[in-house]
Amino acid sequence: MKISRAARAEAKSLFRLCRGEKGLDEERLRKIVKVVAKNRPRGYLQVLGRLAQLAKLEMDRRTHEVVSATKLEDGGKSVFGLLEKHFGKPLAQKAEVRPDVLGGLRIRVGSDVWDATIRGRLEALARSA
């Protein structure tokens, strides 16, 4: 769906109002959504849609995910500790075991992915050939 520049800018400014010292303030976000939905300004559906996208991106950015072939010895606490040092305190931490990665780790923080798995290297090799 195409969104106008004005709606995009309005959503961005409203999203900035929702951010506090510790990240996204969910209560402020709820209040802003209620006010916008009640007042129904021009292009309000686009503004609310973009606001939802920005909130989802913020939530994803604050989620740390680690995928490995076998269960990590400490449950991933050492890896999560390093990620927390670098990116800040997460809202959620996910440690997944997938034998199909064959070995190594795949770490995802928001839209950033670091793939050091054997499967990822084999796929990259296949793409380059």
What residues does each domain of the chain span?
5-58, 62-128
Q: Which residue has the tokens 């199909």?
A: 100
pLDDT greater at residue 13 or residue 19 = 13
Of the chain, the percentage scoring pLDDT greater than 90 comes to 60
**pLDDT score at 1:** 63
Own/partner contacts of 54-57, CB < 8 Å, gap of 24 or more, are 54/11, 54/12, 54/15, 55/15, 55/18, 55/24, 55/29, 57/110, 57/111
The residue-averaged pLDDT of 38-65 equals 91
Distance CA 89, CA 79 (A): 13
**pLDDT score at 54:** 92
Of the chain, the percentage scoring pLDDT greater than 70 comes to 99
Predicted confidence (pLDDT) per residue in 92-113, tens digit: 888 999 999 999 999 998 888 9
Q: Is residue 69 a contact partner of residue 88, using CB atoms and an 8 Å limit? A: no
